[in-house]
Amino acid sequence: MKKIYCILLFATIIQLGGAQIYEIGVFGGGSNFIGDVGSTKFIAPKKLAIGGIFRWNRSARHSYRVSVIYTTLLGNDRKSSDPKRQERGYFFKEEALEVSAGIEFTFLDFDLHRNSFNFSPYIYTGVSMLNHPNFYYSNNKLIPEKTKSNAFGIPIALGMKVNLTEDLIFGIEVAARYTFSDELDGSIPDADELKELQFGNFNNNDWYVFSGITLTYTFGQNPCFCDY
């Protein structure tokens, strides 16, 4: 009876992915915006970005991942290398909250069930949603709107992670977000009656980038090694 129970338990764990190992922790770093206002440098953190991250490690090579990150996106034409933007002088600063979910792949085995040293570069992608305020420019002045929008996008992250101890994992990553919106910088007002105030390149949507570190704590149930 004991052997039957152990076999059933082992089969159930395999069905659930082989191991119930989870990670929960924090993200800290900076953010920068790339669009029709401000600098177009790809990696140039300007404002603090902080949040939480959760991983469900389904194997030594891939994990499901969810994160929530709060930041302030900043665009300043005076900091641009484009003389036309410098002369225009637009500026915005907006508080934004992002939720992202997707899958993370490691290039090397990252096996949390062994107590030895683990290290691997990784890539992450999935879907993201950024909640941000709406605004527009009129007579070179920023005018807030009373509405907010959700900008959906695709995160593309490159990083490296290493286990500091049996339970703590440290990571560093650069994560670009391509959005399906061109409204983050006020270049396309949300209200239809303000369409004449649109400006910029309508063929390019907005991007933003998170650069920072993660520190996560592992917990969960190790695989069942039954004695039969």
**Which tens digits make up the pLDDT trace of 186-200?**
999 888 888 899 999
Q: What is the mean pLDDT of residues 164-173?
A: 94
Q: Which domains does the chain carry? A: 20-221 (2.40.160.20)
Between CA 47 and CA 43 the distance in angstroms is 12
Checking if the pLDDT of 12 tops 80, the result is: no
Using the 8-state DSSP alphabet, how is residue 203 labeled?
A: T
pLDDT at 204 over 80: yes
Residues counted in the chain = 228
Does the pLDDT value for residue 177 go beyond 60? yes
Record the tokens describing residue 71, joined without a space.
């930041």
208 confidence band (pLDDT: 50, 70, 90): very high
* Residue of 55, 68, 127, 126 whose CA lies nearest to 98: 68
Check whether 94 has a pLDDT greater than 80.
Answer: yes
Reply yes or no on whether the pLDDT at 126 is more than 70.
Answer: yes
Question: 228 vs 128, which has greater pLDDT?
Answer: 128
Nearest-angstrom CA–CA distance, 48 and 41: 17
Of the pLDDT bands very low, low, confident and very high (cuts 50, 70, 90), residue 225 is very low
64 touches 56 (CB < 8 A): yes
Residue 224 clears pLDDT 60, i.e. is over it: no
In three-state form (DSSP H/G/I as H, E/B as E, the rest C), the secondary structure along 157-201 is EEEEEEECCCCEEEEEEEEEEEECCCCCCCCCCCCHHHHHHCCCC
Q: What percent of the chain has pLDDT over 90?
A: 74
> In this predicted structure, what is the pLDDT of residue 99?
98
Look at residues 28, 33, 66 and name the one whose alpha carbon lies nearest to residue 48.
28
Place of tokens 């915006």: 33
* Tens of pLDDT, residues 142-154: 999 989 999 999 9
Q: What is the mean pLDDT of residues 4-23?
A: 48
CA–chain centroid gap for 152, Å, is 12
pLDDT band, residue 210 (cuts 50/70/90): very high
Mean pLDDT of 39-55: 95
By mean pLDDT, which of 23-37, 42-56, 181-195, 211-225 is the weakest?
211-225
Question: Which residue did the predictor score with more confidence, 14 or 48?
Answer: 48
**Which structure tokens are listed for 197?**
């105030």
- Label residue 172 exposed, middle or buried (CB < 10 Å: 0-12, 13-18, 19+): middle
pLDDT at 36 over 90: yes
pLDDT at 111 over 90: no
